[in-house]
Structure 1
Amino acid sequence: MIRRIEAIGGVLLVLFLAGCSGMGPAPGDGPGRVIDNPQAIPDAIPRNAPPSRYGNPDTYEVFGETYRVMRTADGHRERGIASWYGSKFHGRRTSSGEPYDMYTMTAAHRSLPLPTWVEVRHLGNDRRIVVKVNDRGPFADNRIIDLSYAAAAKLGMLGTGTAPVEIRTVTPEGPEESVVEAANTTAPGESAPSDDPGYWLQVAAFGERQNAEQLMRELAAAGVRHPARIESGDDGLHRVRLGPLDNAEAVDDASQALKTANFDPGHVIIPD
């Protein structure tokens, strides 16, 4: 019974974290003390650690959505938008049972096993950090990882609230090149000027092009005014995508337009 109660407690905390994954911290959340030199914060060190006793159910549900926890993180890599969470949750219990410390290099992910260590690369300024994933979230659309306040500062995304990132798992046996720190030529917590990688919102993929063309007509008839195109790949799939979209706000706007018109909200694509 005690184990059951503690497991439920971990899931309840996920509900709290669901509110902190928009354009940076949610209302009532925010930064802590100023970190004068975030680049001096040491990265998390990958370790051989046992799985969390309470953070790895096969599935769990938040706001009516069911999420499945991955059996292994080996070789996992994905691109998307990162956000961060801060003072509102400092000291609270994470889904793994550890207290959340906003000044350490940690993160929340919806499906990676807890704990997992990942390298996070900012696709705008090419900074790289390593964090320990010990929590669940973010649960807002179009976000793939929630970073701690310290991790967001070191990555250079506090000013923007979100960042385009690529994440990949790292292990104690991983290559040394996986932990690469870019030169810090900007003020603490700010991103270096760079070309935005550009975003696309994929609505659906079809084996038959005529089905993709039909969806394009339906989007136009429903009043979805964001530019749309069909991209046909060597794999034989025809993908309907909205874009290019300039930033995370534009992605959220396009996603909301799809939901308003009763379409799937899509998922973010950041090209290589």
Structure 2
Amino acid sequence: MPGKSHHFTLQQSSYGKEHLVFCILSDERVFSSKSPDIFNQVMKQAGINGSYVPFMVQPDKIGEAISSLRTLHIAGANVTVPFKEAVIPFMDSVSESATIIGAINTIARNKDKLKGYNTNAIGLMDALEEIQYDPAGKTALIIGAGGAAKAAAFVLKWLKADKIIIVGRNEARARQVAVRSSGEFILTDELLDHDIPVNILINATTVSSREESSEFADIAEKLKLPQCELIFDLNYGRKKNFWQEKAKKNSIMFRDGLLTLIHQAKNSLSLWTGLEIETAAFRKALEDTV
């Protein structure tokens, strides 16, 4: 997989001599992220002299936020919706996989240069490997057409899914993701008109509860999935998750974004420090936050 191998972005000795600051750039949802707790605990246990902080960014200020990373010498950053695509023009370079995907969720600093990576893809790939689910030869349905959907489509294509179908509101965006993954697309309001033998469904939108979208909740309830083996919701933290309810009702395996978060975090920290820390440390940190 392009970009799978990691390279030091800081001198290996530097993390013990200076206090490194890492951050997450997001909108108002940044304050519900578990990333700061996870990273801070893992770094403390690993002896890394650093801290990880949340920054809320206004939608029209992402360029200024990236400039601040340079000014403040932030060692690395994670990027969430709605900035995964918007940050690309502000990078000095972009990894091969992030270029192919068309979205960035991790930024690493090497001296004064910023390089964008996509650990969403690696995180999902590692998560699927952990639960021993092989998409090869399967029909995949991806709900959403943003940065997370691009990463999911990239992974499914790489793992040789037989058919990838993108579901989106915006025809141009859905078509773009479908073309990148050699797949097909369906508009959201036409999804229930199609009879698709879905084996794996990935929710790559930002909504998973009826409070967030009654429209999507109704679609999930009515969607027929007789051959579905796995529903993977890339979100987490919803008390009433309609995708989880759908999976339970139909005896389908369900996983949420906490699983990918663990693997994304591991890969991000490796990019920033060159250190390979065991996945168990990130899982333990996540469990301690719940």
TM range (shorter): under 0.3
Q: Tell me which protein shows more strand as a share of its residues.
A: 1
Q: Tell me which protein shows more helix as a share of its residues.
A: 2
TM-score by length of 1: 0.27
TM-score by length of 2: 0.26
